[in-house]
Structure 1
Amino acid sequence: MAKTTKSAAPKAATGSNERGIDIGLAEASRKTAAAILSAALADTFTVYLKTHNAHWNVTGPDFQQLHILFEGQYEELHGSIDEIAERIRALGVKVPASLAGFAQASSIAETATELTADEMVRDLLAANEQLVRNLRKAEADLGELDDIASADLMVARVAASEKHAWMLRSLLG
């Protein structure tokens, strides 16, 4: 009977880190991509929180319509937060996940005062449009890193946030 030997584990490719991540992206590219995604996560979380706030606090004659619209939008945003966070983990980086960290990293301002229903719509429209611009930039930057999975995720996020903005804009006439 021939003696079998265990083969050594494959050597990690250049650019992979101590965990042996070898997905075709150098460690520096993965870290840069994770940083870009972390900013997108912070912005998305901020828009999610603003939208949930509007859902909870909207009043007035359009309450029912807006309450339902805001709920659909914050639920979609909630799912996207998980997708972005899981992509960061797939790149081998821990997800920054604190309210203070999100507030600091987001380029989108929180809603600071009580707003009327119309002001909520305008505020969320502006936030979604800013999010779209930020996500477009993130997609381009991720594409330059050749991180096609992260770039593709940003394309999907742009489409969803553009739809949110369109629906909000349509309420304004």
Structure 2
Amino acid sequence: MKTNIGISEANRQAVAEQLGKLLADEFVLYTKTRNAHWNIEGPDFHSMHLFFESQYEQLDELMDSVAERMRKIGHYAPGTLAQLLQLTHLTEQSDRKNDSLGFLKELLEDHESIIEFLRGNITPFAEKYHDAGTSDYITGLLETHEEMAWMLRSHFR
């Protein structure tokens, strides 16, 4: 059945394309955070192992909500690794050691990249594409990523 939610197909398509990129970024960040959880080493292993676990659990929920937002506006979410890797702005490559500071720095940079992407789409979603719902939705995601970035950044102070 046709999606009739007061937003043109062209505008829903444009928003869905950006949400697909966001989903890909969330997936890569989730995977990198899982990697940190699995492979952390050092004297702070236990506390960092638990910290990274709490972060990837949050990211798991975020990924699901982004995919569901895409479905709400009438589009399918990318669901293969190949699709996600083509869409992401992030890289899975890393030159860091398996210590907490290396993981923290890399994950912080990725959160900040997602924050910039989200911030750059709030106004276009609302004004250009007439999708206040998705604009509001990503504002909430922005706040979540800002909090997660703060938690990562606080380890460096």
Match of 2:6 in 1: 24
Match of 2:46 among 31, 55, 64: 64
* Distance of 1:53 and 1:113 partners within structure 2: 14
Match of 2:102 in 1: 119
Q: Which runs of 5+ in 2 are unaligned?
A: none
Is 1:107–2:107 an aligned residue pair? no
Q: Deviations over 1:49-68 (max 9, x none)?
A: 11111011101011112111
Match of 1:16 in 2: none
Q: Greater helix percent: which structure?
A: 2
TM-score (norm 1): 0.85
For the residue of structure 1 that corresponds to 2:89, the secondary structure is: coil
Match of 1:98 in 2: 80
Would you say the 8 A contact 2:36–2:98 is kept in 1? Answer: no
What value does the CA root-mean-square deviation take over the aligned residues? 1.3
For the residue of structure 2 that corresponds to 1:140, the secondary structure is: helix
For the residue of structure 2 that corresponds to 1:84, the secondary structure is: helix
Is 1:136–2:119 an aligned residue pair? yes
Number of residue pairs aligned between Structure 1 and Structure 2:
155
Q: Kindly state the Cα deviation for residue 26 of structure 1 after the two structures are TM-superposed.
A: 0.7
Would you say the 8 A contact 1:135–1:154 is kept in 2? Answer: yes
Would you say the 8 A contact 2:28–2:90 is kept in 1? Answer: yes
Q: Deviations over 1:126-166 (max 9, x none)?
A: 11111111111122221221211111111111111111111
Q: Which runs of 5+ in 1 are unaligned?
A: 1-18
* Distance of 1:148 and 1:64 partners within structure 2: 42
* Distance of 1:141 and 1:82 partners within structure 2: 23
Match of 2:31 among 44, 49, 52: 49
Match of 1:73 in 2: 55
- Structure showing greater radius of gyration is 1
Moved more, 141-150 or 117-126: 141-150
Q: Kindly state the Cα deviation for residue 20 of structure 1 after the two structures are TM-superposed.
A: 2.5
Q: Kindly state the Cα deviation for residue 39 of structure 1 after the two structures are TM-superposed.
A: 0.8
* Distance of 2:109 and 2:85 partners within structure 1: 17
Would you say the 8 A contact 2:20–2:78 is kept in 1? Answer: yes
* Distance of 1:51 and 1:154 partners within structure 2: 21
Is 1:157–2:141 an aligned residue pair? yes
Consecutive aligned runs of 4 or more in structure 1 exceeding 6 Å deviation: none
